[in-house]
């Protein structure tokens, strides 16, 4: 989706800039494969306000704040990103220091996401051994979402089939059946999903119920657009706003230093 | 008396593998050996693997069960096509897990334990769809955890940068994240390498040795093609698209293209070197990393 | 905005340490910090440590409990003298374990788990003399195992070859066997190093980085003296014999020699550099490795 | 003890040569600190008949068959031995591959050893928190002896206080209360203690009872010498022999290539 504003930015660019603003200096940022919006967001944040961020890609740890360009990888498994490494984050034992993942920030998608931020990468259907749609699998999401300090659900689409009342399977536990102690009751230490960012809007989770709640709509999108595209009754924040558009500086840095090849504009 | 070399041929290693065994496929993908398994029409395997490399073995008819945390696609498909089809029709049993659950099971084996506890997956559907996982209370604080049973591997197949003939392997740019877990849990491990190096080079930087005592070392330059090999080449996107398109068509009933793909790249060749001749040096050299 | 340095002084790090905390001492021994703890008369510590380095802290009056798998001696005594005496009189609580039990407890913490199972120690007296260990049946096969509770560390103190100012540490000749276990289980880690190196040198061999995100890096050349530091110097046997003899006499009631030892090497100095001046450059340079 | 034979070898040399003969090509040999007899034995075996042995010292793995000299380390923690490394045996995760320890051979001492080969490094006394003699601690022996293919008890002394009916504490489980299935009953996979080698004799474990049994006495030692020095009733093998003395070749290699400084002769 391309906005016809003065800046003529795309919704992917809007999402990346929004997400970059959520990231704090000192965060350890782990991006999975094939997620260009978070990939761009962590690079932009690192350049703009995160000299002490740590970027974790493909098992390598890096701090590349001083580099002139931090271009997006050409494809998911582009190992050239490890040329920036200062160390390897796992050295053959990926999960030997999850204790310190309270500093980590993670980004997750899904084939289904429910109103409590539980996500499904297993598949759609009733019978696990004969699914209607077989998903790619959980990757590391069950483990990462259990331990990271906070995470963001980032979706490339916003449809009623994707944002559902209840996932057929849960591969990453968000807020379970709801309530602020949903995770604590199960002894899950990580801070849980914070926001869900889609091409239409940004949703947070209501403090008391941990139900997904419309927080801001992107420029040109109406509340009804979002409601129609969502498979569950959506709460609306009483502070509902329009998603803040990228500043000139943000967009300039994004395009010149992070996404010179225009991946987010195609 | 002399120290014994473990340098081996593709044939020697494929002879270790029997129908029905549990075989692990590392990352970067040990494609020379993957093709040799397909070429030798081994079947009924349980594969620990991921992504498109896993898909080759399924399309090649070798697999009845997968232990997989990720079978993503790329090149226009969200999920590896042969995996997706076989899983949906029920031809393929899927041992559902995530990375942390899988590595817990692999670590249990390597540590000589019947299980290891893990927290990741608590609250999810994993213990419902995978009955081998048990929800347990820890015996000290009563916290809820998953008990993951030990996962045993008959043969692990890996790809790396270099090794000496005594089975000392050194990766460039770090090993794939799962390779050392697989190595530690496997009864036997065979490592394809881009280059054989002298033992003196190993000793000059012993900390760089990521695997020792490999049971076999196979010389296989460009042996991860069409995937990447850190420090050597990037993945061959054109070739991978060719495979993914052919496999995607195949699951819709049009077998011609995948049959031609396998005929040309697997069945008509008898070794990795012959495969490289089919790909051609021009294409191979175009895949330089930087 | 700039990336922050974690370069710290001995004083800054010792200020993290409060009476009664659990402090881990790596190997090679971080003796500059060990001496600084004694110099600052911190007490009531639980120490995870071993050998003569552990003995210093006991002789220095800092320790009320040890989590130790080994407190061997050398230089004429089979067991570290202050440890042996304090353990026999009951002044010192000993959390009895072996290396595999200890590392299981450290790994449990690092993995965010309340416990890990371990087989080593089944059939031994360990679960009798250490009530924190529980004999358990595994929930899958019913095998007998030990459940080892998570062991938490407030501060881990380590010694290594080199680090950049951002906390990327590289060991020469490998880290001591337990250091990375300690690092992963610790809330904070401070690493003494022989040399500070530029970040570019770290990047040029990222696989050599053994610890990242150290909370503090302390420049301490010869900081492991009188112990060894791989790649730099061997242990100072004469000096260690001096200590062991003084400590051995002390537990028989003759305190003069150990008091003189501590006065000269710890209390009369205020920093590691002053300590090195007491030892003298001639002695230090005589400890070259090869 | 120095024998007045033609070769004039010491009992330490005799023990080292005997032990070297027990080691097989392909064994992975792990020697703890401050055990000069096993240190010498593994080096001698490696040179004489073990080109595929692996020597494991201080976390380093090495194969040094081709070296002219493999001198004993000057002291226990002599890190110069790691200069021969081909890899590090643990890389910060010492116990992550115990599955393969069936190939390992280990050597153990103790402050007490009982008739079933259980060993004690904890200490002597009744009250663990107020011991009469506090030992050094278990090191890695509880774990190693549970998993290694086989191990040897090697003692520097042979006295009734050391070789006891029952250990006050057991830090490494040998054959428990006896019987060939003592280890199997507890699910302990390692092959257990094979021999106990002292300055007086070599003892094995009777097949049916797993009681320590006198197998050979060293030259000049009588059966009564051994009985008097042992704190439990000792079984005598019906194949009792005298420990075979070192050959000229063994002693020459031991002295010229393994122990040029004469550690075993002092």
Give CA torsion, residues C209, C213, C216, C217, to 10 deg: 20
Structure confidence by residue, pLDDT tens digits, D178-192? 999 999 999 999 999
Tokens of D152: 């040897």
User: Mutating which of A81, A96, A99 best tests the C interface, going by the most C Cβ atoms within 10 A?
Assistant: A99
Superfamily of domain C7-95+152-285 in the CATH hierarchy = Glutaconate Coenzyme A-transferase (3.40.1080.10)
> How many Å lie between the alpha carbon of C4 and the closest alpha carbon of chain A?
7
pLDDT at D256 over 70: yes
Structure confidence by residue, pLDDT tens digits, C146-182? 999 999 999 999 999 999 999 999 999 889 999 999 9
Q: Which residue of D has its CA nearest to A91?
A: D91
pLDDT value at residue A7: 55
**B101 at the A interface (CB within 8 A)?**
yes
Greater model confidence, B195 or D90: B195
Residue D182 within any structural domain of the chain: yes
pLDDT value at residue D6: 46
Q: How far apart are CA D173 and CA D176, in angstroms?
A: 6
Q: Is B135 helix (H, G, I), strand (E, B) or coil?
A: strand
User: Mutating which of A93, A94, A97 best tests the D interface, going by the most D Cβ atoms within 10 A?
Assistant: A93
**A75 at the B interface (CB within 8 A)?**
yes
Residue D31 within any structural domain of the chain: yes
Mean of the pLDDT values across residues B77-96? 97
Which of 178-197 (B) contact D at CB < 8 A? 184-185
Residue D123 within any structural domain of the chain: yes
- Which residues of chain C are in CATH 3.40.1080.10 domains? 7-95+152-285
Structure confidence by residue, pLDDT tens digits, B27-60? 999 999 999 999 999 999 999 999 999 999 999 9
Residue numbers of the domain that contains D254: 11-265
Inter-chain touch B110–D98, beta carbons under 8 Å: yes
Inter-chain touch C114–B138, beta carbons under 8 Å: yes
> How many Å lie between the alpha carbon of C149 and the closest alpha carbon of chain B?
7
Mean of the pLDDT values across residues C110-117? 98
Inter-chain touch C69–D172, beta carbons under 8 Å: no
Query: What total number of domains does chain A contain?
Result: 1
Residues of D in contact with B213 (CB under 8 A): 54, 100
**C203 at the B interface (CB within 8 A)?**
no
Q: C-D interface: how many C-beta pairs under 8 angstroms?
A: 168
Q: Which residue of D has its CA nearest to B152?
A: D99
| In chain C, % of residues over pLDDT 90 | 96
Helix (H) / strand (E) containing B104: helix B99-110
Structure confidence by residue, pLDDT tens digits, B142-190? 999 999 999 999 999 999 999 999 999 999 988 999 999 999 999 999 9
Inter-chain touch B207–C206, beta carbons under 8 Å: no
Residues of C in contact with B112 (CB under 8 A): 119
Residue D150 within any structural domain of the chain: yes
Residues of A in contact with B99 (CB under 8 A): 94-95, 138-140, 143
pLDDT value at residue D51: 96
Inter-chain touch B1–D54, beta carbons under 8 Å: no
Inter-chain touch D92–C179, beta carbons under 8 Å: yes
pLDDT value at residue A4: 45
User: Mutating which of C105, C111, C112, C208 best tests the A interface, going by the most A Cβ atoms within 10 A?
Assistant: C112
**C222 at the D interface (CB within 8 A)?**
no
Residue A6 within any structural domain of the chain: no
Give CA torsion, residues B206, B209, B211, B212, to 10 deg: -30
Cis previous bond, C78, omega within 30: no
Residue D232 within any structural domain of the chain: yes
Local confidence band at D90 (pLDDT 50, 70, 90 cut-offs): confident
Q: B-C interface: how many C-beta pairs under 8 angstroms?
A: 66
The CATH number assigned to the domain holding D214 equals 3.40.1080.10
Local confidence band at B105 (pLDDT 50, 70, 90 cut-offs): very high
Q: Considering CB atoms only, which of C116, C143, C171 is closest to B114?
A: C143
**D141 at the C interface (CB within 8 A)?**
yes
Structure confidence by residue, pLDDT tens digits, C200-217? 999 999 999 999 999 999
Q: How far apart are CA A45 and CA A193, in angstroms?
A: 19
- pTM of the predicted model as reported, rounded to 2 decimal places: 0.97
What are the residue ranges in chain A where pLDDT is below 70?
1-7
| Nearest of B23, D57, B234 to residue C173 by alpha carbon | D57
pLDDT value at residue D32: 77
Determine contact, residues C29/C57, Cβ cutoff 8 Å: no
């Amino acid at each position: 989706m391309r906005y016809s504003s003065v800046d003529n930015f795309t919704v992917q660019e809007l999402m990346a800039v929004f997400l970059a603003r959520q990231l704090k200096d000192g965060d350890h940022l782990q991006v999975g494969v094939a997620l260009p919006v978070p990939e761009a967001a962590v690079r932009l944040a690192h350049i703009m306000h995160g000299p002490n961020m740590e970027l974790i890609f493909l098992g390598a740890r890096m701090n590349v704040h001083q580099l002139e360009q931090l271009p997006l990888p050409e494809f998911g498994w582009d190992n050239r990103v490890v040329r920036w490494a200062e160390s390897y984050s796992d050295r053959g034992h990926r999960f030997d220091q999850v204790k310190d993942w309270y500093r980590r920030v993670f980004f997750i998608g899904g084939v289904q996401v429910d109103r409590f931020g539980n996500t499904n990468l297993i598949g759609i259907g009733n019978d696990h051994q004969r699914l209607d749609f077989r998903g790619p699998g959980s990757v590391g999401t069950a483990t990462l979402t259990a331990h990271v300090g906070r995470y963001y659900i980032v979706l490339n689409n916003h449809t009623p089939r994707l944002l559902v009342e209840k996932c057929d399977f849960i591969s990453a536990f968000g807020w379970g059946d709801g309530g602020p102690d949903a995770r604590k009751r199960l002894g899950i230490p990580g801070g849980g999903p914070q926001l869900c960012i889609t091409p239409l809007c940004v949703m947070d989770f209501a403090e008391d119920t941990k139900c997904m709640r419309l927080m801001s709509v992107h420029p040109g999108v109406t509340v009804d657009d979002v409601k129609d595209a969502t498979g569950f009754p959506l709460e609306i924040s009483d502070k509902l706003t329009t998603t803040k558009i990228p500043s000139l500086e943000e967009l300039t840095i994004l395009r010149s230093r992070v996404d010179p090849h225009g991946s987010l504009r195609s | 008396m002399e120290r014994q070399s473990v340098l081996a041929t593709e044939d020697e290693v494929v002879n270790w593998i029997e129908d029905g065994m549990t075989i692990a496929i590392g990352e970067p993908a040990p494609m020379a050996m993957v093709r040799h398994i397909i070429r030798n029409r081994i079947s009924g395997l349980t594969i620990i693997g991921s992504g498109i490399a896993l898909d080759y073995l399924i399309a090649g008819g070798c697999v009845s069960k997968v232990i997989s945390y990720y079978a993503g696609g790329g090149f226009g498909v969200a999920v590896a096509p042969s995996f997706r089809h076989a899983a949906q029709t029920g031809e393929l049993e899927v041992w559902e897990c995530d990375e942390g659950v899988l590595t817990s099971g692999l670590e249990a084996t390597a540590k000589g334990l019947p299980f290891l506890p893990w927290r990741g997956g608590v609250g999810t559907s994993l213990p419902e769809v995978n009955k081998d996982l048990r929800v347990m209370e820890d015996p000290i604080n009563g916290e809820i955890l998953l008990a993951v049973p030990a996962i045993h591997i008959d043969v692990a197949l890996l790809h790396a940068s270099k090794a000496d003939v005594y089975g000392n392997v050194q990766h460039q740019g770090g090993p794939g994240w799962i390779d050392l877990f697989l190595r530690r849990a496997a009864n036997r491990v065979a490592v394809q390498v881009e280059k054989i190096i002298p033992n003196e080079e190993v000793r000059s930087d012993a900390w760089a040795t990521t695997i020792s005592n490999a049971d076999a070392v196979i010389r296989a330059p460009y042996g991860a093609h069409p995937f990447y090999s850190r420090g050597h080449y990037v993945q061959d996107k054109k070739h991978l698209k060719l495979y993914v398109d052919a496999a995607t068509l195949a699951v819709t009933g049009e077998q011609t293209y995948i049959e031609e793909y396998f005929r040309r790249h697997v069945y008509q060749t008898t070794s990795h070197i012959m495969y490289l001749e089919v790909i051609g040096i021009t294409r191979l050299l175009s895949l330089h990393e930087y």
